[in-house]
Structure 1
């Protein structure tokens, strides 16, 4: 057997990973009862590896404790096991298993050995049967274990149920087992006996009502409806058009097969969207796949697609040259394919909520590529020529073109679990993982649950996010963004001088009519003037009651002497993408029309003005161009900018500056003292130094 070892993907025992264990074909966990992973004491990577391993060997993994029977995790004592179950609202009591009567034959053999050892020749009374010394018990246990192993190997085939979790009573029984048991199964290549791996066996007297009526993965479990043949669009292979008619005849001749969504097994990878060239449905590119599906076909007028390539508009140069970096092409807002892109954005959000990072990146690439395409898409072959898109992407397009929607997107929007996760994900300070923890582990379904049951477990930022949940979701119009920036500049000038610059970045600079928050880069031509400036600005604004809460205050760049972030060495610990001084604050206009009257009537009158999210970033003048550039592009633009700098120039780019990956030295594209001009001039100098054509901010809308 081949053995693949990957030391980076290990749990405490050192080998449990889908790609790092002895992968024996005989192991099949499909016969065990529904199993839940106890995430307590598991790091994120350990939790992921355990779940991927269970899926790899077809274990019935679930998050619904109302039907789970097996619980596996880092649990060492009965008390801890009982606590874990009760935390999940299970009412349990230990199931005391009666000792199996000894076999009469084995008992006789045992007594014979005993008499031989002790020299006794008297007749054994009936009371001696079933009574043995500790030594005899060890012998019997050894024989039973050997017999059990042989019996297990014979019975653990797919045609026999697993004997490991046998329940001979009519009771609702649950088992809590150590993580080592899963590793033992993988290593042995078959279901291993529980033995010492069993921590706790109990009778379940009460279970919580299932709040997860549909699994989060079940959003893709509905059978897709075949489009009417009279309204279908020909879906051809971009690289194999000669077999279109033959495939169409084959598809039309037989019945449309029923589609079945199944989780793909990818080892350590969440998805492999770009693997292969099969004309598969879109779920395959996100880690979920159909067992089979027929592409929608235009059966009545296939001849109209002969020579169809000549009807396509001439693609832009970046398509012809297969330019893959978003920082090398124009991407305007409100392009001709916005309606289709909205569907893809919904899918990307779903991938985010189910923790499919690879799927999120893949969809981001697809969305950015289509958004940059200047023409209305009319045919799947036209779409497939775009960088990052292939036949799998075209299946999405075909379904949308034929039906006006994508069924999986409809399912996602209507799924109750997804609705809850989306609402939690919209809390400022709560990411996808925390949202899933709220829903699946804590069984919370609305904000009131968080406030009532988990308020003290939230960190301060999350508490503020919940408190101002509705207000933070209200978009900020451009005039208000400008007014906020002018107030910040006014206070900064008081603290320094009128050479202070404030550049509004983010969605505002890309031309959005309204923004989710306000991002601004503050700078000054003198290096010493930006050191510690963010703290002074925040204190001044707090004193004037513009800032109600300071969520995050960072002086990392000041403490580093305002130098570019050192290139991370192999031995050193790395820092995040953005290490500039910054303050993330909650903003509220202290003035309101009836303020004077309200305060006269009640000195503690509440300010009715809406709360806003504002980010104040301080950049030293010599790298202000990098800061403005790094904070002005859409997410994919920024990602591809870093990838381009690495692949093409051998540099490491972030908003604090640029470093050479070979020498670790700073690369001063703006000059060691900065550009003589504006922050926008400095940004253009960075584009030039990177050998990139300047792209106006309103054409960096990559989402």
Structure 2
């Protein structure tokens, strides 16, 4: 061989992997196995062949492997891959550490005693935190989406990796414990490039202590023939349900489960297919010996009735028309806010929250679809066969329902609510400006377990939005009554009229418009028939409200719509034109009523008396009149309603819908659904024209509650 190929040419997809590097001996490393996730074509086989050629003690038996190599980039993914192979591990728990050095004398105090330097308002013309109505990752330049918030762009971390350098002696541990290592395939490439064992360095993704290994692949007391001729796995290990072909088979499956002995709950998970965790299977979170099961293995069956034994369906109501017509999109059906199955939906929402916190986007969307279908169902669920008729629901949904119906609880929810790691993640996730990814970073990488840890160790690394979210943590979690929402909107309207004229309209959207008794924040669409009147209006309103002391902090301000001439967002967007959150001009602010009953007396006694009124989150969105109907539509529906509205526009009409208007995907031309500029009527009238233009029956806001 003339020369040793570079590490780039030795990527696992390159033909050079077929070469043998003279002098490279991997026989000294512990038994090694390959994690197959993310490999393409024959990449996995070639990695295995390369390991064998260089003497590595390769094994396919997880019970024996000490080193795992693959295309794994994060500690969390490594733990998931090990768990999916029934290998229970515990990461080395390091002491809490600051995200960055904290200078002596500058460390802030405990929560609710944060520096008062936050009281100065700021204005940022940048993309900011999203609200209840804003988009999921992957949505199409849309600012209407779920209540799932909200990593701010300034500090949202890249999924962290364990960058701890490897020890000088490769794969050595002096603790005497059973230890495993997970390394990137790039480590093998470095070994090939240098012709010797390379240090682990940044290629080491995870190192953990083994708590429990799976049984050997082939027991010495059982022949291969016996293994493959075994009819079923013992019920005490695992019960998996195959997808039934008919609704009747779901019932039969449930009946057979009822006659079986309920197994002891234990974590079970099959290998991921590369699309996130399986929709309903369990997944553990905390780096500890306790591994919660986030999906029940089995469920007790509902009491059988005579009609069931006779094969009759007289106890099941006839399916609604939208089921008979196989309506796919939730924007085509009516979903009330308080349907007959809210108690079961509440349980499913908790499982969805768990999926959010572990970054299972597919699971979140799957549960959102399931919840939206059940919410639209007009009857009280009484039988698992009813669920089989609903879009997105399958046999595992039925199992969850049966478990809840018989026991009054779901073990998946119990595990979520009792798991300490999930409690911490939920606490961090409830900070305004902190999304699920940042919450995981705080807990798993920085080892923070309470809000005071963030203040003590990481205050200087929070952006201003997160600092404010932490300062008013408890206040932002309190719901805003409808009367207070209306009062806030009226104040904004009065100031906007003074700035322009009495043709200003203010439409309260979000949860308030869907009929919620209390809202998490206040969302409003402000518009005016004259195009010039809405240009730059959001900035004028914010300045006026700040001067009147209604706004204490401006978290984010966007003028992208004004800057692009208040036109519908281009089909192919650029960062300069605004996308996603910045579809329309908007301001996200902290609101506080500057008046209170004892104001004069308090100020007379103490000129620096603090305002006792609660702080609220308020979003002011400005829409030009020609597309105000799209804005009101785009900010009024529940999460799944808005997602399906965009999907309907895309797949049924061939259009791109967002709150700035509609464009055709074929040519990018604007589709004017609301009539010419300056048309008479109200924003609500324009909204009805949007539904008509989309070919949809108008769904009143109080029936867009897809949860």
Question: What's the TM-score, normalizing by structure 2?
Answer: 0.71
Higher RCO (CA < 8 A, seq sep 6+): 2
Distance 1:497 1:201, change over 3 A: closer
Unaligned runs of 5+ in 1: 7-14, 69-86, 98-163, 215-222, 227-234, 274-280
1:66 — aligned with what? 93
2:389 — aligned with what? 385
Match of 2:248 among 241, 247, 261: 241
Quote the offset at 1:676 in angstroms.
1.5
Quote the offset at 1:310 in angstroms.
2.8
1:18 aligns with 2:38: yes
2:438 — aligned with what? 434
* CA RMSD, 1 decimal: 4.5
Match of 1:500 among 497, 501, 504: 504
Quote the offset at 1:19 in angstroms.
3.9
1:315 aligns with 2:286: no
Quote the offset at 1:261 in angstroms.
2.1
> Helix, strand or coil: the match of 1:23?
helix
1:565 — aligned with what? 569
1:139 — aligned with what? none
Contact 1:624 1:682 in 2 (8 A): yes
Q: Which has the higher helix share?
A: 1
2:461 — aligned with what? 457
Alignment partners' CA distance in 2, 1:487 and 1:592: 16
Alignment partners' CA distance in 1, 2:639 and 2:202: 48
List aligned pairs for 1:420-569, cutoff 5 A. Answer: 420-568=424-572
1:263 aligns with 2:269: yes
2:686 — aligned with what? 682
1:196 — aligned with what? 198
Alignment partners' CA distance in 1, 2:588 and 2:335: 29
Alignment partners' CA distance in 1, 2:83 and 2:308: 46
Q: Which moved more, 1:469-478 or 1:571-580?
A: 571-580
Quote the offset at 1:552 in angstroms.
0.3
Alignment partners' CA distance in 2, 1:606 and 1:376: 50
Unaligned runs of 5+ in 2: 1-10, 15-34, 49-57, 96-160, 213-234, 286-291
Question: What's the TM-score, normalizing by structure 1?
Answer: 0.71
Distance 1:604 1:193, change over 3 A: farther
Quote the offset at 1:361 in angstroms.
0.3
> Helix, strand or coil: the match of 2:647?
helix
1:634 aligns with 2:638: yes
Quote the offset at 1:250 in angstroms.
8.4
Alignment partners' CA distance in 2, 1:243 and 1:549: 55
Structure 1 residues 548-600: Cα deviation after superposition (integer angstroms, max 9, x where no partner): 00000000100010000000279999821651000000000011111111112
Alignment partners' CA distance in 1, 2:585 and 2:574: 25
Quote the offset at 1:518 in angstroms.
0.3
Quote the offset at 1:614 in angstroms.
0.2
Aligned positions, number: 564
Quote the offset at 1:165 in angstroms.
2.6
Contact 2:171 2:181 in 1 (8 A): no
Structure 1 residues 47-69: Cα deviation after superposition (integer angstroms, max 9, x where no partner): 4896489559959696732399x
Alignment partners' CA distance in 2, 1:23 and 1:236: 29
List aligned pairs for 1:295-374, cutoff 5 A. Answer: 295-297=299-301, 304-374=308-378
Alignment partners' CA distance in 2, 1:175 and 1:200: 16
> Helix, strand or coil: the match of 1:366?
helix
1:695 aligns with 2:699: yes
Alignment partners' CA distance in 2, 1:332 and 1:612: 27
Quote the offset at 1:255 in angstroms.
4.0
Alignment partners' CA distance in 1, 2:386 and 2:577: 45
Quote the offset at 1:388 in angstroms.
1.1
Quote the offset at 1:248 in angstroms.
4.4
Distance 1:301 1:187, change over 3 A: farther
Alignment partners' CA distance in 2, 1:356 and 1:170: 34
Alignment partners' CA distance in 2, 1:546 and 1:644: 40
Alignment partners' CA distance in 1, 2:704 and 2:400: 25
1:413 — aligned with what? 417
Alignment partners' CA distance in 2, 1:33 and 1:701: 50
Alignment partners' CA distance in 2, 1:553 and 1:266: 41
List aligned pairs for 1:24-173, cutoff 5 A. Answer: 24=45, 28=60, 30=62, 31=64, 46-47=73-74, 51=78, 54-55=81-82, 58=85, 64-66=91-93, 165-167=171-173
Contact 1:505 1:631 in 2 (8 A): yes
